[in-house]
Amino acid sequence: MLLTKTEPEVWVESLSEKIRARSARVGIVGLGYVGLPLAVEFAKAGFTVTGIDLQQSKVDGINLGRSHVADIRSEELAELVESGKLTATSDFSAIAHLDTINICVPTPLRKTKDPDMSYIVSACNQISQHLHPGTLVILESTTYPGTTDELVLPALQKPNLRVGEEFFLCFSPERVDPGNAQYRTRNIPKVVGGVTPECTRLGALFYSQALETVVSVSSTQVAEMVKLLENTFRMINIGLVNEMAVMCDRMKINIWEVIDAAATKPFGFMPFYPGPGLGGHCIPVDPFYLSWKTRQAGIEARFIELAGYINGQMPHFVVDKIQNALNDHGKPLRNSHVHLMGVAYKKDIDDVRESPALDIIHLLRCRGTRVTYTDPFVPSVRIDDGERLFAADDHGIVAEADCVVIVTDHSGFNYAKLIETSRLVLDTRNAVKSFSSPKIVRL
């Protein structure tokens, strides 16, 4: 008996074949910290990749082989661009010629801590205009559980374009850790969950061509929740250790020594470290996507709210420590000069999104303090009311400042010289752990 294939089976088969042969034309929407490394990885695996971004300067830069993401070297990018494996455009009509589309657009919070889904909605509306049968779409932006099914699917599905039949839809959380040289896009295991089992199978097949390990899960909601569990776990543990740091400060116990000793326990303990507050596009933001969603289901995410409060208090704690340290030197905070070492939210990267340094600068300026900073990765930062602060050369300014605060422990800082030349140092990162000096005040 001759069995004829159904139309959906034909789409699945032809897409699978193209993916296996690496002839599938890959599209990445949103070419930031997440999208560009992903585009590079698929281009390196032999696929022809088209990146789509609204920001023309990023598109132009990529087409000239210039990387705007620190983890991607321009030489590496230029090679892929020159060989025709990677191009960028701001024109969504390119989607008409693509077989796969990964959505990597921002998912910030509104001031009210509600999710701002406008970037995903806008990207989906643009994609929808050009979506055609036989396409695999994967959302990678971190979001609340239910987004793929409740928001993305209705935006893309049409009577002649049904999910699991004519097109395929998955969620796959992005776990990239900017600045991490050991774990990159390629060797971080990739979780993927589809709207239907066929969607999951195609999503897993796609990632397995370019990435080392793929973990399939049973639904888009599970995949969405995986990311939120990971980041909520970090945020709450950082909140706990920040609260411990405040307690230890009051009791005059060295929190860093406590953590190091606790970390000698070979099981059941994982060290987290205190600091000036949370930063970046993920840890301070993602858990609130979850608490917003659970609130709708009548559940209050109390751990998240509490950790958010404690972490949000850390810049205030740092400013109080500066004030007390200056006081011990007979100086009021008002009219003092405080110099910050580092404004990026973590070491050796250039990202200042949600950086606690911005809160510290704001709080110090509100109290009448003159603030300067040094950061080899961040030439300028936008502060209150859009004013721009420019990085200072740290050589002379460290000696002039009444207090120097290590906010970001960049590897390139010369800590020995810093301690030698400054009058007073507040270390919020345990960066000068190995130094002993009456000038040093630790968090």
Stretch that binds ligand NAD, among 28-36, 250-258, 339-347, 368-376 (CB under 6 A): 28-36
- What are the strands of the beta sheet with 48-52, ordered from one edge? 86-89, 48-52, 25-29, 100-103, 135-139, 167-171, 190-194, 214-217
Structural tokens at position 415: 């800590």
Please tell me whether residue 194 adopts helix, strand or coil conformation: strand
Q: How far is the CB of 181 from ligand NAD (least distance, A)?
A: 15
If the CB atoms of residues 58 and 429 are measured against ligand NAD, the closer one turns out to be: 58
- The verdict on 72 binding ligand NAD (CB under 6 A) reads no
Stretch that binds ligand NAD, among 51-59, 80-88, 161-169, 294-302 (CB under 6 A): 51-59
The only residue of 174, 198, 354, 409 in contact with ligand NAD, by rule CB under 6 A = 174
If the CB atoms of residues 249 and 286 are measured against ligand NAD, the closer one turns out to be: 286
- The verdict on 145 binding ligand NAD (CB under 6 A) reads no
The only residue of 18, 19, 27, 35 in contact with ligand NAD, by rule CB under 6 A = 35
Residue closest to ligand NAD when measured from CB atoms: 32
Catalytic residue check, 282: yes
Residue ranges in 329-381 assigned as alpha helix (H): 356-366
The only residue of 104, 169, 360, 361 in contact with ligand NAD, by rule CB under 6 A = 104
Q: How far is the CB of 90 from ligand NAD (least distance, A)?
A: 8
User: What mask of x and - would describe binding to ligand NAD in positions 205 to 244, judged by CB under 6 A?
Assistant: ----------------------------------------
Q: Which residues pair with 135 in a beta bridge?
A: 167
Under rule CB under 6 A, which residues in 273-302 are in contact with ligand NAD? 281-282
Q: Total residues at the site for ligand NAD (CB under 6 A)? A: 26
Stretch that binds ligand NAD, among 53-61, 217-225, 304-312, 379-387 (CB under 6 A): 53-61
- The verdict on 426 binding ligand NAD (CB under 6 A) reads no
The only residue of 107, 147, 196, 422 in contact with ligand NAD, by rule CB under 6 A = 107
Structural tokens at position 39: 């585009």
Stretch that binds ligand NAD, among 101-109, 242-250, 291-299, 431-439 (CB under 6 A): 101-109
Q: Identify whether the C-beta of residue 223 lies closer than 8 Å to the C-beta of residue 191.
A: yes
If the CB atoms of residues 210 and 425 are measured against ligand NAD, the closer one turns out to be: 210
If the CB atoms of residues 115 and 239 are measured against ligand NAD, the closer one turns out to be: 115
Catalytic residue among 248, 282, 366, 403: 282
Q: How far apart are CA 134 and CA 25, in angstroms?
A: 12
Please tell me whether residue 262 adopts helix, strand or coil conformation: helix
Q: What are 155-158's contacts with CB under 8 Å, separation 24+?
A: 155/121, 155/124, 155/125, 155/128, 156/124, 156/127, 156/128, 156/131, 158/128
Residue ranges in 100-219 assigned as alpha helix (H): 118-130, 147, 153-156, 197-208
Please tell me whether residue 86 adopts helix, strand or coil conformation: strand
- The verdict on 51 binding ligand NAD (CB under 6 A) reads no
Beta carbons within 8 Å of 50's beta carbon, 6+ residues apart: 25, 26, 27, 28, 87, 88, 89, 94, 97, 98
- The verdict on 409 binding ligand NAD (CB under 6 A) reads no
Please tell me whether residue 83 adopts helix, strand or coil conformation: coil
- DSSP 8-state symbol, 97: G
Q: How far apart are CA 315 and CA 298, in angstroms?
A: 32
Question: Which residues does the annotation mark as catalytic?
Answer: 282
Residue ranges that bind ligand NAD, judged by CB under 6 A:
29-35, 52-55, 58, 104-107, 119, 122-123, 141-142, 174, 176, 178, 281-282
